Chains A and B, each alone.
Chain A
Amino acid sequence: MAGLKGFGVCSLAVLLVSLVGCGAESPAGKPEAGRAPASAGAKNYELLNVSYDPTRELWKDLNGAFAAQYQKDSGNTVEIKQSHGGSSSQARAVIDGLEADVVTLAMWQDTEAISKKGLIKEGWEERLPNRSLPYSSTIVFVVRKGNPKGIKEWTDLVKADVQVITPNPKTSGNGKLSFLAAWGSVVLNGGSEDDAQAFVKKLYLNVPVLDTGARGSTTTFAQKGIGDVHLGWENEARLEVKEANGDLEIVYPKQSILAEPHIAVVDGNVDRKGTREASESYLKFLYTDAGQEIIAKHFYRPADEAILKKHAEAFPQIDLFPITKIAAGWDEAQKKFFAEGALFDAIYQPSGK
């Protein structure tokens, strides 16, 4: 048996060695080790942009344009990798160590959550033009062909025979904005907070499915054919209507919320990786005419007044109210409406009819 025991020890040793071996080769195996200068003069950067769900097509376009521009201006090359997902879960990944150079998330509080962990310096909102907003967006209605239920305004959403599709405000930026827009439609038109609460309660009784994210809701409405009206991002709605080949129509209410997807450089990561200069150039590029044109092309409302005016027919003028009109800020709105046990929990019972 001594020999057998010897073998047992041997195989254990092999196991350990191979595990350690794997551990040791790991850092060398990572693909983005080579951030060092490619040649004497020109540098080669690789940046990671962590963003929210519906912006994939937008950033693909912007990245290509920026890389060309950057090489012309500085002689350095840059390659930008993208990561997309639900805004809050993306913020969580950056907090857990996903090495984002820049974050371009849907909601202010997601960027703020990263800042609170010390990865983004305080006062980040003021470091880039227009309060770090290269574009804005809003929530609009998508209805079925010919608008059979005659949905034009927020008040039409609480009619008994209307089914509304929008994602869950607890997990989705789109969901939060839909809720806040509905709330604003009452309190900004002379209604009291109690009226608003009764209104949203009635509205969410008309929601048969609460998906977790924007793309999920789009699929529910456009592909599964559930519901009469879909409350979604303006850019997502435009894409949805285009994909549907005439089966869907877009409806602009008179008033909706101003959505503010902020952008920021992740200080903790760029300083360690030595990519600050490239990352800042990247985000500043968004404010150039070329960047703003691409933004408009993808149906996000450009921050630049002149370019917005140029595309006026793509962006119908509706009254977009900022969050500050209905709450002190995004932070307070989160606490008041969406936190555990807050207003949304009080008005929405999933087991209800």
Chain B
Amino acid sequence: MMPQKSTVASSTARHAASREDPVWVRVLLIGLAFLVIGVLIVIPVANVFYQAFRGGAGVYWKNLVSDPDTRHSIFLTLTVAPVAVALNVVFGVAAAWLITRFKFPGRTFLTTLLDLPFAISPVVAGLMFMLMFGLQGYMGPWLRDHGIKIVFAYPGLVLVTAFVTMPFIARELIPVMDAIGSDEEIAAVSLGANGWQTFWRITIPNIKWGLLYGVILCNARAMGEFGAVHVVSGHISGQTDTMPLRVEKLFQEYNNPGSFAVASVLTALAIVTLFLKIWLEHKTSHELAEARDVGVT
């Protein structure tokens, strides 16, 4: 409980210090903060919806559903993102398990590698896959001879999206699993549970909120992915254009209402994600605190 007490103490100290500041400093600083957030975040986001709904709700709806290419882009995003997330759930759980439950040489290096997709520019990520699976790449000619399409098709979109969003779930699970520790799992095994039983009855219930949190972040990023997908998509309208690519295309075609209509859907998804995130943060911090209590006593 020590760390929590000290944070409480320091935050009360900060409160006291801020109360000693003159009124005008407080008003100025708070005002500035609101101004910056308003100008940089609230107004642009509100404007997306304003532009989208400028012609009224009927026009808005028509912009979303009457164009088959736009419809397809929504469908495509809703099919690419979940598959990429599913891949990352399997990968993330396995990676977090490996890193938190075993000591082996190169463990730190592996943890660092996990973050690589965050550090690499998405455009470069797209090009990496192009150089692997493109016709001029190492595997391209073989794939073409066997009738397998990766880049400029659905599998390529899933692969780059999964790559770019890879760290989210593992990154979320590693601290959770570290905090919980392996005591319960060892106890389960010592009582005769096999690997699967331990996993489903001990590990998953322990990490479920952290996992869900990771899934939500991963999904939000996957739906919004632009750079890497831009490289491997081939920009075929009604076939390989995802929602973010569709937004760009409509904008370039002077179709501002259509473009903002699609953009507003993406923005709405982001806002929903945000609320889910806040709710889950409460959940996970609670669970983590509980786990810590159990660990200390």
Binding site for B on A (CB under 8 A): 1-4, 6-12, 14-15, 18-19, 22-23, 26-27, 29-32, 48, 53, 56-57, 81-85, 93, 95-99, 117, 215, 239, 243, 272
Contact = CB atoms under 8 A, between A and B. Distances in A.
Interface of B: 83, 86-87, 90-91, 93-94, 97-98, 101-102, 130, 133-137, 140, 144, 147-155, 158, 182, 185-186, 189, 193-196, 198-199, 234-239, 249, 252-254
A59 to B, nearest CB: 10
Contacts of B195: 3-4, 6-10
Nearest to A25: B155
Nearest to A79: B238
Contact of A97 (B101, B144, B155): B144
B152 A31 contact: no
B90 A8 contact: no
Contact of A30 (B154, B186, B238): B154
Contacts of B86: 18
Contacts of A99: 149, 152
Contacts of A117: 136
Given A11-B94, A93-B235, 13 more contacts: A1-B186, A4-B195, A6-B194, A8-B97, A8-B98, A22-B158, A23-B155, A26-B153, A29-B154, A31-B154, A53-B252, A81-B238, A83-B235
Q: Is the interface of A mostly helix, strand, loop or mixed?
A: helix
A98 B152 contact: yes
A24 to B, nearest CB: 10
Given A3-B189, A81-B236, A83-B235, A30 B153 contact: yes
A26 B83 CA distance: 12
B130 A83 contact: no
A30 B149 contact: yes
A15 B234 CA distance: 29
B151 A97 contact: yes
Contacts of A98: 152, 234
Contact of B237 (A3, A57, A83, A272): A83
Given A29-B154, A96-B151, A7 B196 contact: yes
Contact of B130 (A19, A29, A96): A96
A26 B239 contact: no
Nearest to B189: A3
A173 to B, nearest CB: 16
Contacts of B186: 1, 4
A153 B94 CA distance: 68
Contact of B101 (A8, A9, A31, A32): A8
Contacts of B196: 7, 10
A81 B148 CA distance: 20
Contacts of A57: 253
A93 B64 CA distance: 29
Given A29-B154, A81-B237, A81-B239, A18 B135 contact: no
- Which of A48, A56, A83, A215 has the most C-beta atoms of chain B within 10 angstroms of its own C-beta? A83
9 contacts: A1-B189, A30-B154, A83-B236, A84-B249, A85-B235, A95-B135, A96-B135, A98-B152, A272-B144
Given A14-B94, A30-B155, A82-B236, A56 B150 contact: no
Which 4 pairs show the lowest CB-CB distances between chains A and B? Answer: A7-B195, A97-B135, A96-B134, A26-B155
A95 B130 CA distance: 11
Nearest to A49: B236
B87 A4 contact: no
A239 B196 CA distance: 64
Contacts of A14: 90, 94
A83 B155 contact: no
A83 B234 contact: yes
Contact of B149 (A27, A93, A96, A272): A27
